[in-house]
A and B are shown apart, each in its own frame.
Chain A
Amino acid sequence: MKAVLKNGIAVFSPQGFLDANSSNVFMSMEDIESATNLKADMILVSLKKVIFFNRNGLDIFVKLFSKIRKKNQATVGFCDYDRKKYEAMRRFFHDELNFSLFKTLDIAYLFSSSFKNLNKNILIYSSDKSQRSAMAIELHDGGHNPIIAQSFEEFEEKKNNKAAYDYVIDSTFLGQMGQKVATRVTGNAIIYTVTSFLDVEISEQFNIEYHNNSLNVGFRLFIFDAYKVISMNIHALNFFSKLSSSAAEYNASICFVGMRFNKTPIAFKETMEDAGILFYEQMDDILQNKELLKELGASSASNIKYKRVINKETILELPKFIDATVSTLEMMTSAKAIKEAVNVRDLAIKEKKDNVASSIGYYGDIDGMVILVFPKVIAKKACELLIGDNTDDLEMILDTLAELVNIVGGKIKTLLADENISVNITLPRTYQDIDSLMEVVEGRKGVQVDLSFNDDKFFFFLTR
C-alpha cells in the first residue's frame, strides 16, 4: 500500500480489519522505503476506515514505526480514530506509547512542520498535564495560539464556544516527536524555530530540501526564531554560514531573531555576520517593519541578482514537460487538450483578473520551474476530479491546484527518468492572483505555451 503525502504528512490508509496477518502486508518494507523517501515530517496510519484492530495488528505497525524513526526521525503514529479506538490503543500500549496519536489528520497537520496555516486558536485538553504542556509548546513553536483547558469540566465548557476556537484537540497523544526544525510561512517569509543546543545534528534536523524548494519557488527571506537557543558549536556555525552563502546565490536574506551570545562565543556572531546573516532582537522588528521587509526581499520575490536563462537542456526536454501537463489535464478532465502557440519570452498574461496559478520546481540533472496559469473557472474544472463537489471555495481550489501541479511534477519526473535524467520536484506553490506570481517570475525568460481544452484557454510557462 502506498502512502499519500500532503502538507508534510505521509498517510497510509488501510481498510477493514487489522490483525497480525493483514498489518504485515498493509505496510511492506518497500512501502516504508518509498514513504521515507518522500521526506515527510510525519508518517501516520489512518484508522478512519478500520472497523477492527487488535494489539498484534498494531504491534506490527509500531515495530515499523521504530524502523522509520531510526532512519529519518519523522514523527510516527496513528490518526483518524474515535474515542473507543483511542482508549483501546492507550490500554494496549499503556507505558510503551512512544509513538503519537492524533485524533484527526487535521490535528496532525497542526503539528507538522510543513503546515502553512498559522495563528490558529486551538483549545487543548489531555488528562495528562505533561501532554497538555507538550502540545502547547509544539503548537506555539508552529506559530499557533494554544489555549489549555486545565480540567475536563473546563474543556467541556470552553469547547461549546465554537466561534472562539479554530481547532479543538482532545484524545491526542504526542509520543516522540520528529526532531525536524519547525517551519512556518508568514507572507513571503519562512520562519524556522531552532531550540536548545545547536550542534552537528542541525544538518539532520534542518530540512534542506524544503529550504532549497522554497528558494526555487521564490521565497527570499528566511528567519531563524532562536529565542530558545542556549548555545551553538562550530559545526552549527559552519552549517549556518554555508546556508547563508548558498542563499546569497538567490539574493535571499537569512536572519536570526532573539539569539543570545552569553553561552556562545561572540566571535561566532561576527563570523555569521560576515557570511551575511543578520541579527534582530525581536520578531516584530522584522515582521512589523514594511520598509525592512521590502529591503530583505519579503515583500517581493523579484529582486533576484542572477536571473538564470532558459538553456538548451531545458528546451530539448520541453516536449516532455508539455506532454506531462497535457496528459495530466486530460486525465483530470477527460477532455482533449490542444497546444495553440509556443513562444520564448517573458510570461505575458493579458487578462490578469480572475486568474490563478500554480508552480512546481524541479532540480537535479536539470533544473527549472513549471508554472500553470488558469482562469478560476478552468482551474475549478481541472480540479473537479480531485475535489468531487462543485465548490467556489478559493482556498480549496488552490489547495487542489497544488495537488494537480504535484501530479504534473510527478509525471515530469517519470518522463525524464525514462531518458536517464534524474530530477527531484519541489513542493508545489499556488498564487491566488497573477500579481503575486509576477513577483516571482518578473523579468524571467521562459517558454510560454498557450493551451486549451474544450475551447478554454490556459498557459504553461517553463522557466529557470
Chain B
Amino acid sequence: MITKENIDSFIEKIPPSPKVLNETLSLLKIGELVKAAKVAEQDLALKSYLKNIVNKPIYGFRNEVSDIGQIFGILGVSLSQQSVYNYMVALLSPDKWSLFKLNSALFHELQANLSKRWEAILMRLNIQDDNIYAAISLLPASIIVTEALFAQNKKEVELLRGAKALDYNTILIRLSGVSLFDICEEIAKKWEMPSIVSSIVQAASGVKPSQDKKIDALGKWMHLLLFYKLSQPEFIKAGLNDFIDFQVEYVSDIYDDFALLMEIE
C-alpha cells in the first residue's frame, strides 16, 4: 500500500521554504518586526493568510486587522514567527482533501485554535522561548502527511480499519518503519526549523517519549491539546479524531492542570 519509495518521493516533493518567508523569519528572529512586515508584504498569499487567521474569533480582536505591520505588532515576535510557520505548513495542504473531510478554512481554523491554546499553555508553564512557540505549527503537518500518503488507498484503508482499529501512524510504521512524525521531522529539517520543534512534535506523537524531561513534558501538553481539539464536532466530522492513537496514560499526570487551564468542568 505505502512503501518507503512513496515516502521518499513525498519528502522529495516538499518545496524549500520560499525566499520571502526565510527573510521574514530571519528578521522576526532578531526582533525586527517592521522590517519583517515590509518583506512579508511581498507575498500576497501570506498577507491574506495572516489577515484571515488573526481575525478569527479566537484571537478576540474587536476591529478587523489588515495591515501586516499591525498584525506583527499585535502578535509580537513569538506569535508572528509561529504564524509564518503555520502559513508554510498550510502551503503543503492539498487543494482538495479526500481522506479527511477538510477544507482550507477548517484546516486554518485548527491551526489558529492550536496556536492560541498553545500560547495559553506556554504562559501557564512560564515559557517564553520563540522556538517552543513555533513548535505547534509543525503538528498539523502530520494531518497533511496522512492525507498525502493514504488518500490514494482510501478504500483499502477503510477495509483494514473496519477489521481492526488501527490508526494511520501505526499502519505507516508497520508498513514502512517510518512514522508520520518522522516525516514531519524531515519537513522541519528541509525548512531549517529549529531542532527543538521536531523534538517536541515527536514527543507529542504520544508513542516516542523524549529522554529530555522538558521536551517530554511539552510533548504531553501538545498531545493532550491535540486531542482536546480533535474531540470537537467539526474535527470529528472531518475524520480526524482517530487519525493517530490517543495515549491516555502518557498524559494522565498533566490532565488536572490541563482541565483547569482549559476550564473543563
Interface residues of A, Cβ cutoff 8 Å to B: 1-2, 4-6, 11, 13-18, 21-22, 24-26, 48-52, 54, 327-328, 330-331, 334, 384-386, 388, 403-404, 406-407, 410-411, 414
Contact = CB atoms under 8 A, between A and B. Distances in A.
Contacts of A26: 236, 241
Contacts of A334: 1-3, 175-176
A22 B227 CA distance: 12
Contacts of B246: 15-16, 49, 51
Interface stretch (B79-87, B118-126, B133-141, B166-174): B166-174
Interface in B218-258: 224, 227-228, 230-233, 236-237, 241-242, 245-246, 248, 251-252, 255
B190 interface: no
A407 B163 contact: yes
Given A21-B233, A24-B233, A48-B248, A14 B241 contact: yes
B161 interface: yes
A384 B165 contact: no
Contact of B248 (A6, A51, A386): A51
A331 B156 CA distance: 7
Nearest to A11: B165
Contacts of B155: 414
Given A17-B264, A51-B255, A384 B231 contact: no
A286 to B, nearest CB: 35
Interface in B183-237: 224, 227-228, 230-233, 236-237
B160 interface: yes
B13 interface: no
Interface in B1-16: 1-3
Contact of A17 (B156, B176, B228): B228
B233 A25 contact: yes
Contacts of A5: 162
Given A16-B228, A330-B1, A4 B264 contact: no
Contacts of B174: 384-385, 388
Given A16-B246, A17-B264, A328-B156, 11 more contacts: A2-B162, A15-B231, A15-B246, A17-B228, A25-B237, A48-B248, A328-B159, A331-B153, A331-B156, A334-B175, A403-B163
3 nearest interchain CB pairs? A16-B231, A16-B227, A17-B231
The B interface, classified by DSSP as helix, strand, loop or mixed, is helix
B62 interface: no
A385 B170 CA distance: 9
Nearest to A405: B163
B161 A25 contact: no
B164 interface: yes
B261 interface: no
B259 interface: yes
Contacts, number: 105
Given A24-B233, A384-B174, A406 B3 contact: no
A42 to B, nearest CB: 16
A11 to B, nearest CB: 7
Nearest to A26: B236
Given A15-B246, A51-B251, A385-B171, A410 B159 contact: yes
10 contacts: A2-B161, A16-B228, A16-B246, A17-B264, A22-B233, A52-B259, A331-B160, A386-B160, A407-B159, A414-B159
Given A15-B241, A16-B228, A385-B171, A407 B233 contact: no
A407 B160 CA distance: 7
Contacts of A4: 161-165
B163 A15 contact: no
A334 B176 CA distance: 9
Contacts of B245: 15, 49
Nearest to B224: A51
A442 to B, nearest CB: 29
Contacts of A414: 155, 159
B241 A16 contact: yes
A106 B174 CA distance: 25
Given A25-B237, A334-B3, A411 B264 contact: no
A407 B166 CA distance: 14
* Residue of B166, B176, B236, B248 with highest tally of chain A CB at under 10 A: B236
Contacts of B251: 51
A388 B227 contact: no
Contacts of A331: 1, 153, 156, 160
B230 A16 contact: yes
Nearest to A19: B231
A411 B158 CA distance: 10
A406 B163 contact: yes
B227 A386 contact: no
A386 B166 contact: yes
B165 A51 contact: no
Contacts of B259: 52
Contacts of B230: 15-16
Nearest to A402: B163
